[in-house]
Structure 1
Amino acid sequence: MARIATLITDMFEDMEFTSPKEALETHGHTVVTIDKEGSKAVRGKQGEARVEIEYGISDVNPEDFDALFIPGGFSPDLLRDDDRVVAFAKSFMNAMKPVFAICHGPQLLITARAIEGRDITGYKSIRVDLENAGAKFHDQEVVVCQKQLVTSRTPQDLHAFNREIVNLLEEKGL
């Protein structure tokens, strides 16, 4: 079963963390929460979810994880000003490890300069940013690129996002 690094901080979109986490854990995977600093709690922007942060970014190594999950909301934008977080995300893309990003999640991958030439989707307000970063934007509920990168647009797409992240991990034998 896969060990999945989750980059998350305050103001994440509640359902975009809780729903995929539940889907992954139901299939036996472990979801590990990581922020700039560890040993604290963060809250979703809807006020519904409270998440205990297990590790600070300085305490983790990308090689210790099988996949990366980036929930949406304002969290990805708040995280991408930290070079350590950006480098962590970029290492998964460079290593072709599975990466799951929903809504505003791809903002972190834009800053990592890791999506040029990739098929992708995301929240409509970041479409131009994705295109300017060289990605090929598709207005679809879920896009799977090169059997590595799974992206979705909004909480309404969670059923498809959850299905594809679980399928990809299974396909990879994780």
Structure 2
Amino acid sequence: MSKKIATVITNMFEDVEFTEPAKAFQEDGHEVVTIELEAGKTVEGKQKEAKVKIDKGISEVSADEFDALFIPGGFSPDLLRSDDRIVAFTKAFMDTDKPVFAICHGPQLLITAKTLEGRSATGYKSIKVDMEYAGATYKDQEVVVCKNQLVTSRTPEDIPAFIKESLELLK
């Protein structure tokens, strides 16, 4: 069954951490909806390999409209977490136990939303201490699935495992 996946993304995302999972989600029949502060603009990855057109502005969407949340890494999650609406949107998925897929620096949004307490997760090594301060049990492995809801991975090398477990949760 096709699922609608909210993807919060802005400039300086890690190109392959968006493009590869998004392609896999779409090939599996799911809809990927890109969300940023405003609809219609184009954001660019930090490697300048990918450009993404933003489908919806954050003020136009509600977590209720979506089945899952995808947070690509790079510098994008750090930029997005300064907007309270994006943080509240992220928190809504965690609070309602909808699937959340966060890779690399993606968990920074989960930290700001204060949703990692008591969870097992992973992320890029530079945010390990931040995740621990936020109450997460950090695991240095390619993919961590917590409570059949949260899928996290560390780096672009982990993308195949990240995609596999994310697609599993979408079934």
Equivalent residue, structure 1, for 2:39:
38
Within the alignment, does 1:96 sit opposite 2:90 as a pair? no
Paired amino acid for 1:126? I
Paired amino acid for 1:153? R
Which residues of 2 match residues 29-108 of structure 1 at below 5 A? 29-108=30-109
Paired amino acid for 1:10? N
Q: Distance in 2 between matches of 1:60 and 1:168?
A: 22
Identity %: 65
RMSD (Å), alpha carbons: 0.4
Q: Distance in 2 between matches of 1:37 and 1:86?
A: 15
Q: Distance in 1 between matches of 2:123 and 2:7?
A: 18
Moved over 3 A (4+): none
Q: Distance in 2 between matches of 1:108 and 1:68?
A: 11
Compute the displacement of 1:42 (Å): 0.1
Compute the displacement of 1:38 (Å): 1.3
Compute the displacement of 1:37 (Å): 1.3
Show CA shifts across 1:126-169 (max 9, x none): 00000000000000000000000000000000000000000111
State TM-score, norm by structure 2: 0.99
Question: What stretches of structure 1 of length at least 5 have no aligned partner?
Answer: none
Show CA shifts across 1:56-78 (max 9, x none): 10000110000000000000000
Secondary structure, counterpart of 1:157 in structure 2: helix
Q: Distance in 2 between matches of 1:85 and 1:94?
A: 14
Equivalent residue, structure 1, for 2:10:
9
Aligned length: 170
Equivalent residue, structure 2, for 1:119:
120
State TM-score, norm by structure 1: 0.97
Paired amino acid for 2:116? I
